[in-house]
Structure 1
Amino acid sequence: MTNQSNNKNTAKEQFLLADFSYEIRNPLNGIMGLTEILKDTQLNSEQKSLLDKIQKNNDHLLDILNQMLEYSKLLDKNIQCHPRQLLISPFLHNILEELFQYYQKERIKLCYYIPPNLSGIAMLDSALIKQVFLSIGKHIKFLCSDNTINLEFTETNHILYITFKFIAKQNLIPTNDSSQNTPNINAQNINFELSKGILELMGGEIQEKLHENIFEIGLHVPLYNKTKSQKTNSFQKNDLLRGKSILFFNYKADSCTSISKYLDFWGIKLHIENAEIDQFPWENQQNKYHFIGLDISNNKKHEFQIMDAIKKKSNLPIIMFKDPNKTNQKILALQKDVVVMQKPISSIDIAAVLKSVIQSKANELREWLRNPLSLISEYQDQLKILIVEDEPINQRIMREYLNRINLKADLSSNGQQAVKWYKEKEYDLILMDIQMPIMDGAEATKIIRNLKGKHQPYIVAITADSSKGNIEFYKNLGMDDLFYKPISLIGIQKIIAKYLKTIKGI
């Protein structure tokens, strides 16, 4: 009887959480969308500051909601581990770059060193390990007293030991109290419990130690089938890049460290130049190098202005690096031999970009390496788009986002109307809400898919209900892709770009 009661309680909790998530995400979509739109209007400095604070709190609320849902999936055994082969050192540098960016915003100093012996290949689930890192990083924010965190890495017997060390706040008690069978989940420790559960799923564990005022959180990560360094060397071998050299301007030791490590990994020599670009003796030096690299994070000039200034001095391929900016694509090809890369940078991305620019083929990079706006502009007059959404605020936000990228769309408020309009005007792309009155998105999609002799559209589920698991659930309903609310301008751009890649073969 006790087990039946527990099962009923668990089912009830899952239902309440799913309902709670849906009810929160819909208004949150409106708040976040209107905030993003308002930020692009004329504002004074005080208004901009207030909007920044609203946006920060919106992001925090969404983060808490996502953590709750992930923890719910963990309790329900609905998280799966999918290990794949990856290079340990570049992978860790990539994650740490993102963690470094997060701590910078929180004004926390992160000190770390990855030893050379962590240079092999291992089978890891990169997404889950990344989630563990970032979740623990957020958890420590509540525990650290002096805003300085030291991170250490060691590896023994195919186990990667990752230790966070910091000065703890007074009267701090470790989270994993063995006397408690059920953890007391709250906003401060949900990240810890989520990381602990994920690591246990992967066969690892988390340990906490508190000695006087020094707190240690240790992650023990199994390295499946770790290979020796000679295997790594064959993976690294790339005759097109090895032995090449890059002339780097405005190098910043705090934010460019991982870039230099990736260049070294691919066998590229780094020369750091302290002179300004216009003062560099180009006529005597440029033949020594194969690329020009520069950090433009604090440069007020537009990328095209910087590119034009360099092109007057040199014909070498150019790679520019900049700080994260949510309105820009991560990797943007300006010309066939000029690329802008947004931090954090991954080892694989930088290798792909370097190979493309040295061959003057940056404009042929795959869709995920191209600017979605450049893709969209080629087809903006041809695309027939239908938005199916019953909430007026969400309708306005999505239409405004499309207007920002010079796309037009028809608006439908329920599935029945969407089916009727589709019969009259065969749309290329349908952004389909799921829960709507009269007829929901699932039923409307089913009817559209069963229409004979009709051009079949690309249908993207836009939903606030994240309890259904993953994209396979929606594909079984006949949809092509999935996007969870709250949606953003960059989210809309990615949807359109992915559609063009899938259907148009770009």
Structure 2
Amino acid sequence: MVGDSLRLRQILVNLFTNAIKFTEEGEVVLSVEPAPPKDGLGRLAFAVRDTGIGIPADRMDRLFKSFSQVDASTTRRYGGTGLGLAISKRLVELMGGEISVESEVGVGTTFRFTIAAEATDAGELRDAFMQRADLRGKRLLAVDDNATNREVIRRQATSWGMIPRDTGSPTEALYWVRRGDPFDVAVLDMQMPELSGLTVARELRRLRDAQQLPLVMLSSLGVRPQDDDVIDEFAAFLMKPIKASQLYDTLTKAVGGIVPDVRVARDEPISAASELQILLAEDNELNQRLALLLLEKLGYRAAVAGNGVEAIAALRERRYDIVLMDVEMPELDGLEASRRIHQEWRDQRPWIIAMTANAQQGDREKCLEAGMDDYLSKPIRTAQLAAALARSAPAAGGGEHDLRDAKVLDDSAPATGD
């Protein structure tokens, strides 16, 4: 299909951001399928489903209006301007489609939309995976308590010619292996209620060695075992959400015994700077993922706090050298959180780098007044983040540095886009 990828990406980002914001537990799932042609054009139907708080039926008519929220308490708790859905509706219409919503309070919400797109000759866009036979006939064991995750892995594995077998019960998976069922590779979720992926891995290793059954671990961003002995049990670690190409390459190398370039970051040279203890305070999960990926690219790791309250709680638990602080967060914003950090930690506080989407005149001054030390404007670029972390080195390393020196903010001008 050929269409406007930029508009489609914006629609999906808006819907995903909305879904994640209102879903404290459960899942957010995107599904795509062909829709009946219209006016000679092919059509695609998308659905973004969440298990969030839901929307009352009598307030659904407000959803697609500019600067409108379901009620005032929504804005206070979750933030936002109410523009995202109105923009999505307009973009869908520009792409020749329609958007609708279904919701039940306490159960979740599903946004559905269609877009028009031209069909292309299948020969022009032949799936590269199907041209390679590395995985065909290989038997995959997938263990994950989340049914959606298992379905994704099962479908992808089937499309590559594998023979997948999945279960939500680690105990059942261990039973299969104990009785001698053949598997060429196993994919384990790290966090499961019955048994953790690490526990399952230890049990599997008592039954089959790494050559007989390579193990691939799936984990959430920022969650990774620290025990080297445990890490050595796995051919690779993958962080969710997993791209099909990434999973394909990992499985191909695992069953072929080639794993060095997909191992965890500890096998790569780590600079002294990467030992900095970093806390990321950001409420938007998409922005969290982006920031963590940028940090990982630079050789850093970070813990995550979802708002200012969580950030302060994290600082009480352990020492951090740097806090990457989003300015606009629900419950406690970045400015007030920075003020409280100054009050509680004084001379032993972390270096605070502000992150804001509102690069307007006076924003730097507000951040400085609140006690922040540096300033990044979203969208954050790798080079800008690297420069900001480099500027933090004297303070984080314990050297003398005037944390309230306005020059620090002036030097950050290239990162703000001003």
TM-score (norm 2): 0.48
Structure whose alpha-carbon radius of gyration is higher: 1
